[in-house]
């Protein structure tokens, strides 16, 4: 039983993103675009590009391409940092607000469907367990990268 847990943990993010991809495609959003908008919306305006890339888990050049596409759609703006001209900060435009609301709505509905049959207490417990597994993984990563 325990040997299947890793596979399930790995499969769930792909399944989640696949469902959201299908549901967000009619809005003209690819996975890289909606993930970028979603993270920027959660992190807040004015994020340095490098921090946004780190949060999303992509390399900076990949994010630059996505940001250029989102800029062309009028959904984000990049501005030079006042204190460091080499750093670009990313801002959502007013046009992004209704789109973010739609992304949130689609994600909330998908979450509700994926967690169907689980009581609120079950969901809280699941969240606790996932946080513990994540903490353990981070500790392993830290320990192995320092040796």
Strand partners, 47: 90
Residue 24 and residue 109 in contact, taking contact as beta carbons nearer than 8 Å:
no
Range of the domain at 127: 118-147
Residues 72 and 24 in one domain: yes
Residues 26 and 81 in one domain: yes
Residue 64 is assigned to a structural domain of this protein: yes
How many independent structural domains does the chain possess? 2
pLDDT string in tens for the chain (147-residue length): 667 888 998 999 999 999 999 999 999 888 999 999 999 999 998 889 989 999 998 998 889 999 999 999 999 999 987 777 778 899 999 999 999 999 999 999 999 999 999 999 999 999 999 999 999 999 999 999 887
CATH number, domain of 41, equals 1.10.10.10
Residues 136 and 123 in one domain: yes
Residues 107 and 127 in one domain: no
């Amino acid at each position: 039983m325990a040997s299947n847990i890793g596979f399930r943990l790995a499969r769930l993010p792909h399944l989640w993103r696949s469902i959201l991809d299908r549901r967000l495609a009619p809005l003209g959003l690819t996975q890289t675009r909606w993930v970028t908008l979603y993270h920027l919306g959660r992190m807040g305006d004015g994020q340095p590009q490098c921090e946004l890339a780190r949060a999303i888990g992509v390399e900076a050049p990949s994010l630059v391409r996505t940001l250029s596409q989102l800029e062309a759609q009028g959904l984000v703006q990049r501005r030079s940092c006042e204190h460091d001209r080499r750093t670009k900060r990313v801002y959502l435009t007013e046009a992004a607000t209704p789109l973010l609301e739609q992304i949130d709505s689609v994600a909330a509905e998908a979450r509700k469907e994926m967690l169907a049959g689980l009581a609120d207490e079950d969901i809280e417990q699941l969240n606790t367990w996932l946080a513990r597994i994540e903490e353990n993984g981070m500790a392993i990563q830290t320990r192995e990268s320092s040796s």
